[in-house]
Amino acid sequence: MRRKLAFLVAVFCATVVMMAVQKPVFMAYYAVEASGAGFRGWIDVLWHGLTLDLTVAGYVTVLPILVTLFSLWLRLPEKVWWGVLTAWFVLVAVVTAVIFAVDIALYEHWGFRIDATVLIYLTDPEEAMASVDFWLGVRQTLLAAVYAAGMIWVYRRILGVFDGRPVGWRVALPGSVAVVMLAGFDFLAIRGGTGASVANVSKVYFSPTQFLNHAATNPVFSFLSSLGDRVDYADEYPFFEEPVRAAKFDALRGNGPAAGPTEPVLNTARPNVVIVILESFARTVMDAEVGGEPVMPYMQRLKREGVWFENFFANSFRTDRGEVAILSGFPAQTRMSVMKLPAKSRSLPSVARSLAGEGYATSFAYGGDLNFTNQASYMYATGWQELVWQKDLRFDAPAADWGYDDALMCDWFADRVIALSDAGKPFLAGLLTLSSHTPFDVPYSKFDDKVLNAMAFSDECVGKMIDRLKASPAWKDLLVVLVADHSYPYPRTLTYNEPLRHRIPMIWTGGAVAEPRVVEDYAAQIDIAATLLAQLGIAHDDFDYSKDIFAPTPPRKFAYYTFNDGFGVVDASGEAVWDATGDRVVTATNPELLDVGRTMLQTTYVDIGNR
């Protein structure tokens, strides 16, 4: 029995090592790109890449676990088990070697690790082969052959440990328990640990240098995990023929030639910028009172002190999609999230990249796990130079379900903003709060309703953070953007698709704000990018969907949002909501807005398909 268990452990460990070997080979192959990494960079690549190496090893070990378990109870000749395992190991070796060899060749041209995109070119083998240099093909074939042969040799040595002889039930019963326990550990490796986020490419991202993140990525995982992403996005919502769609969108695009100059609302040309993304801050909750007492008194006060956007909407109902809308000016999707597709999200424009190009230091903080929904991958790829999250923080308090609560994080973030200001370099600093997220467990007791109580807690944490900043020298040159990632269904009678369900607060405050004002124009999260950059005198031509809210001339001012399988559009003339389930118009007080929504939805998916 010991030999059976030793065999499983050996398969797993050997696979991890053989996957890890790919990283120094990859970095040596691209020695120029790796030249600035230093010894520490090489070690970091191996260490951070271990997460996905363990995941791949976990998948490889699944069949050996099953064979070992069956061999305890089924009285089959040992050569049957050997045959199954040999075939499996040869398959694993060949597939791994081919993926690695193709990946290492394509990276030079693509700039990212292999994914399912490569399968598109296999639909026309003649054209694919015509673009391959002969000697490159020979070299990569030899690399694949040597690597596969090495893996097969290792697996054959390990296979010699396997004992497939039948055993009695007295051995089989405890043996099965031991194998199942090993299977539990294997499942954790496949899952990527015990945290909230499961295995994804973002788990290995650790550096603002994209090459090092790519070097840490396991190409086998990158390829296989992307197989389910092969969707014809452009055909998801075919409302209009392509020329018609393009013409309709030209009339809506935020960066069109008709857009006029912005109206300045700041008193300094290049302030330091803080973006605080408020978890689940619904407009309905902000306006709510309990016994005459406001649920969010700090937000109500800040609303009067800064620039208040009266008719502002979230683009989605999920954090990952809301973040992309806020930080990249890219509309939310219905049944998918572009943030989860690194091959797509890395090409999105972003406020961070635009400001970094103007000399700003960019950093983002979150008290939870930024690997969740591939956030870290998206942020590093779009210009955030430094990410700080739960793994980097040490507080004398336990973390809640989603991470460190807002009291800890807001206090820490205030210190950070003050320190960044003292450093003298212009900066963009972001913070995502988390305490107002389900299950709404917070160290606070103000209201009996858990949702309102958690929202009140976050409101107080953010408000006190703003008060600390206001009392510091950093305030003078600071612009703070407070905006929700999405809304929340409060009261419970709100339906998932109605406009009020997606209405959220946005406030601009800070010493850089010239004077308090109320903005009545309809807008949404995607409009933040163009509006902010225009105030700073920075071009925003690459933000196709983002409209400058303070531009007095076209494009048309409207708020657009999506839900699970549909969209809503709201402007001063009315509203329209369409649900794809049954191709149903839920409401259309202004039917013209249906075409606006259809154009935005189709264009979003066409855009994703082209990235």
Please provide the DSSP assignment of 395-457 as one string.
Answer: -SS---SSSS-HHHHHHHHHHHHHHHHHHTS-EEEEEE--TTSTT---S--S-SSHHHHHHHH
Could you tell me where the beta strands, DSSP code E, fall in 439-530?
Answer: 478-484, 506-509, 517-524
Q: Tokens 């390990």, residue?
A: 158
3-class DSSP state for residue 482? strand
Tokens encoding 93: 């070796």
Q: What angle do CA 254, 599, 318 make, to 5 degrees?
A: 80
Compute how many other C-beta atoms are within 10 angstroms of the C-beta atom of residue 493: 7
Q: Tokens 């202004």, residue?
A: 590
Q: Residue 60 and residue 254: Cα distance in Å, rounded?
A: 48
Compute how many other C-beta atoms are within 10 angstroms of the C-beta atom of residue 487: 25
Cβ(192)–Cβ(376) below 8 Å = no
Instruction: Indicate the DSSP class of residue 266.
Output: B
Would you say 194 is a known binding-site residue?
no
CB within 8 Å of 105: residues ≥ 6 apart? 136, 140
Q: State the amino acid at position 609 in one-letter form.
A: G
Tokens encoding 47: 């260490």
Could you give the maximum distance between any two Cα atoms of the chain, in Å?
84
How many Cα atoms are found within 13 Å in the side-chain-facing hemisphere of 346?
19
Tokens encoding 163: 């004992």
What Rg do the C-alpha atoms of the chain give, in angstroms?
27
Would you say 279 is a known binding-site residue?
yes
Q: Residue 159 and residue 6: Cα distance in Å, rounded?
A: 11
3-class DSSP state for residue 132? coil
Residues facing 363 on adjacent strands: 386, 429
Q: Residue 11 and residue 15: Cα distance in Å, rounded?
A: 6
Residue 290, Cα to own-chain centre: how many angstroms? 36
Would you say 486 is a known binding-site residue?
yes
Q: Residue 414 and residue 173: Cα distance in Å, rounded?
A: 58
- Name the region of 373 (left: φ>0; alpha: ψ -120 to 50; beta: rest): left
Q: State the amino acid at position 183 in one-letter form.
A: A
Q: Residue 29 and residue 565: Cα distance in Å, rounded?
A: 45
Would you say 61 is a known binding-site residue?
no
Q: Residue 467 and residue 461: Cα distance in Å, rounded?
A: 10
86 is catalytic: no
Helix (H) or strand (E) holding 387: strand 386-388
Please provide the DSSP assignment of 241-263 as one string.
Answer: -HHHHHHHHHTT-TT-TT--PPP
Q: Are strands 386-388 and 559-563 parallel, antiparallel or unpaired?
A: unpaired
Would you say 44 is a known binding-site residue?
no
Question: Among residues 15, 262, 319, 562, which one is catalytic?
Answer: 319
Cα separations in angstroms, 426 against 476, 478, 533: 13, 10, 14
Binding residues for Mn(2+): 279, 319, 485-486
Active site residue ranges: 319
Binding residues: 279, 319, 437, 485-486
Binding residues for substrate: 437
